Amino acid sequence: MILHGMLPYVEGSRFTVRSHNPPPPGSIKKLHHLTKEAKIERSKILPLKRCILHLPSGGSDGNYMVTFEVVNNIRAGPDHDAQVVAVRVLDSGPAFPEHLKGVGLVVAKLYYPLFSDHAGDDDTDPFLWLARQYEREAASYHRLSDLQGSVIPVFYGSYSLELPVEGSPS
């Protein structure tokens, strides 16, 4: 169960993720500044509830699932929009992606809006900000694919993770 302020990515935790096809670059047209309505919402609704109200949009689900186990936190916790953890890739069945076979330990970057600054004085909408960061990073890895494994890390794809939330029906 996820509660605000609790880090779900602790050593030994296992998660099953679904492959995700990110939105094309530039598809998020809205500015990442808070609207008047979002400022009011921010002052009245807890961040966890806001995360549920603002589920990620754009892109589409892929065709395979991967299970991983958290080995170590590299940079995780409050005030980090993206959580960076070392994970062990575990085979998760017949739909396991070919490009991950034989891969053991990798670094996973998880865009996690719950730990974004929801109470700060800045004017940034954390949901739009993270969506834009994800879109740009995925596009960059695809564009620089010839450099993967030499100048930049190998990109094993984008994935989506759903976490249970206390008090949520699902």
pLDDT over threshold 50, residue 1: no
CA within 13 Å, CB half, 114? 19
Contact 66, 88 (CB under 8 A): no
Q: What is residue 14's three-state secondary structure?
A: strand
Contact 66, 96 (CB under 8 A): yes
Sign of CA dihedral 44, 49, 51, 56: negative
What per-residue confidence (pLDDT) applies to 167? 62
pLDDT over threshold 80, residue 3: no
Q: Which two tokens stand for residue 157?
A: 């794809």
Q: CA 78 to CA 60: how far, in whole Å? A: 28
The average confidence (pLDDT) of the chain is: 81
> Mean per-residue pLDDT for 131-155?
91
Q: What single DSSP character describes residue 125?
A: -
Range with the poorest average pLDDT among 48-52, 79-83, 115-119: 115-119
